[in-house]
Structure 1
Amino acid sequence: METKSLEVCLTPALLPLYKVEEYIVVIIDIFRATSSICYGIENGAEAIIPVSQVEECAAYREKGLGYLLAAERNGEVVAGFDFGNSPFAYTTDKVAGKTVVLTTTNGTHALHLSRSARRVVIGSFLNLTALCNWLKTQQDNVLLVCAGWKNNFNLEDTLFAGAVIEQLKNEGYKLDDPAIAANDLFQLGKADIRQYLKKTSHGERLKKLGIEKDIAFCEQIDLTTAIPVLKGEKLVKLSV
């Protein structure tokens, strides 16, 4: 049997180098989109519809079906929208039974570019172990796609990719160089992930916006068990 691959795409700008249709793709945007998506689906959101552009999100206003509209750019809520991508906007009382339409600076961009994958799922520290346990049952190649920051590399997404690899590297996968590098990075940071991630430029960006509590929330491990999966245009809870 051919060895499965476990690979890391360090930024969406590198996605054209991969045949994403040959992989299960895990989208990673730790600060904050994929953390908020995991939390929202865990808290009973019926679906989250990721769109690339603010205009696409706004267009759902005309559909009249009670969508919650969430738009973030450069770490801030876009004026005129219900909320952005703070996990605190995705609590049970706000999203249970609702459909959220979401656009973010990085995460939804990476997701849009990965739509032709065999399956697209969402990863964060919040659902780390549940995600890894599910991946261990799959027979396909896995590509961990780091959303980065505006098509550039970032530490937090790569560190999370390394955390996934730590749980999967003895499961018979062939690792590529970015996967090895991500896991080496995780070895540096795993003793105190919160302290290590204080180095990140996006963490600094969010601190300047006064939302340190969002950062701390997104660094929690195994707060949730739901795995959001893309079905058609919607992210819904994976049935496992």
Structure 2
Amino acid sequence: MKQLDVCLTPDLLHLHKLNNSIVVVADIFRATSCMVTGLAYGIKSITPVASVEECKFLQDKGFIAAAERDAQKVEGFDLDNSPFSYMDGRLIGSQVAMTTTNGTLSIAKAKASAVKVMVGAFLNLGALANYLRSEPYDVLVLCAGWKGRPNLEDTLFAGALAEALKEHFMLLEDGTLMAQRLYNQSRDNLLASVSNSSHVRRLQRLGIQKDISYCLQTDMYDVVPILRGSTLVAMN
């Protein structure tokens, strides 16, 4: 039977074997929620890069560029890290380059060894789970966390995906069981569950409560982003 595992922070990724695994990267507040939203709203592709310099290089090549550090937009770039910025009709059909504090770095770390790299959020939870059920590979949920530390919202998402897949995957490791149990205790009110978390406090200081509420909505979109080469596209 296939296995599902959870890595609570990219700093622990070296402890996991990826050679037979699909890695699902989750950065709920807000990178992977932006990616799902953008592709759902008609953006052609999103190229995640680890550094601001790489993002600037692609911007100079004609990409729409989004850069975030410490939850704020980097000066000189086109987009911030709010999913509402990705709903702009002028972005339909565009190629976007993106760098964020945690999410795009996690993708860069995962793609070296994984069978496939995909992007997950509460927004596409059901569609992602349906796809993973059909695949023959193990799954590792890589929580982007915050600068090497675990965070609550990504762990809750990992638990939600584990709960959705528990009939099709073995949940063996304690990190997976912890995430699943935490989600089941919190699922009836995710917003309340994260209300005192470090990342929510960080975002609230910036006055973007609406992003927090939006990113915790479940099954808004059917889009399943997958990394093709170095670029995320929506699976057909």
Q: TM-score normalized by structure 2? A: 0.97
Displacement of 1:92:
4.5
Quote the Cα distance in structure 2 between the aligned partners of 1:199 and 1:20.
Answer: 33
Using the alignment, how far apart are the partners of 1:159 and 1:71 within structure 2? 25
Q: Shift of residue 7 of structure 1?
A: 0.1
Q: Read off the aligned partner of 2:44 and give its amino acid letter.
A: E
- Please, which moves more after superposition, 84-93 or 74-83? 84-93
Q: What is the rounded CA distance, in whole Å, between the counterparts of 1:16 and 1:61 in structure 2? A: 32
SS of equivalent to 1:205: helix
Determine the C-alpha separation between the residues in 2 that align with 1:39 and 1:57: 20
Q: CA-to-partner distance for each residue in 1:12-58, whole Å, 9 max, x for gaps? A: 00011112232100000000000000000111111000000001000
- Give the TM-score, by structure 1 length: 0.95
* Correspondence 1:32 to 2:33: no
**Which AA in structure 1 matches 2:10?**
P
The residue number in structure 2 matching 1:62 is 60
Within-5 A mapping of 1:137-148: 137-148=134-145
Residue by residue, what CA displacement relative to the aligned partner does 1:148-180 show, whole Å, maximum 9, x if unpaired?
000101000000100001111111424311100
Using a 3 Å threshold, how does the CA distance of structure 1 residues 226 and 92 change in structure 2: closer, same or farther? farther
Aligned to 1:118: 115
Q: 1:71 to 1:174 in 2, by over 3 A?
A: same
When the two chains are superposed, the root-mean-square deviation of aligned CA atoms in Å is 1.0
Structure 2 alignment gaps of length 5 or more: none
Once residues 111 and 210 of structure 1 are traced to their aligned partners in structure 2, the CA distance between those partners, rounded to angstroms, is: 27
SS of match in other structure, 2:101 = coil
Correspondence for 1:73: 69
> Structure 1 residues 20 and 172, CA, compared in 2 at 3 Å: closer, same or farther?
closer
- Range with greater deviation from structure 2 (192-201 or 74-83): 192-201
Q: 1:230 aligns with which of 204, 227, 230?
A: 227
d(CA) in 1 for partners of 2:35, 2:169: 29
What is the distance in 2 between the residues matched to 1:224 and 1:172?
24
The equivalent of 1:152 in structure 2 is 149
**Per the alignment, do residues 92 and 84 of structure 1 end up closer, same or farther by CA in structure 2, a change over 3 Å counting?**
closer
Give the Cα–Cα distance (whole angstroms) in 2 for the partners of residues 192 and 149 of structure 1.
Answer: 23
Q: Distance in 2 between matches of 1:49 and 1:193?
A: 30
1:180 equivalent to 2:181? Answer no
Contact 2:27 2:102 in 1 (8 A): yes
2:4 maps to amino acid: L
Tell whether 2:31 aligns with 1:6: no
SS at structure 2 position matched to 1:49 = strand
Which aligned runs of 4 or more in structure 1 are off by greater than 4 angstroms?
none
Specify the alignment match of 1:205 in structure 2. 202
Q: Which moved more, 1:182-191 or 1:169-178?
A: 169-178
Q: Which runs of 5+ in 1 are unaligned?
A: none
Task: Decide whether aligned partners of structure 1 residues 218 and 177 sit closer, same or farther in structure 2, where only a CA change above 3 A counts.
Answer: same
| Bigger Cα displacement from structure 2, 28-37 vs 174-183 | 174-183
| Letter aligned with residue 211 of structure 1 | I
Residue of 84, 95, 99 corresponding to 1:99: 95
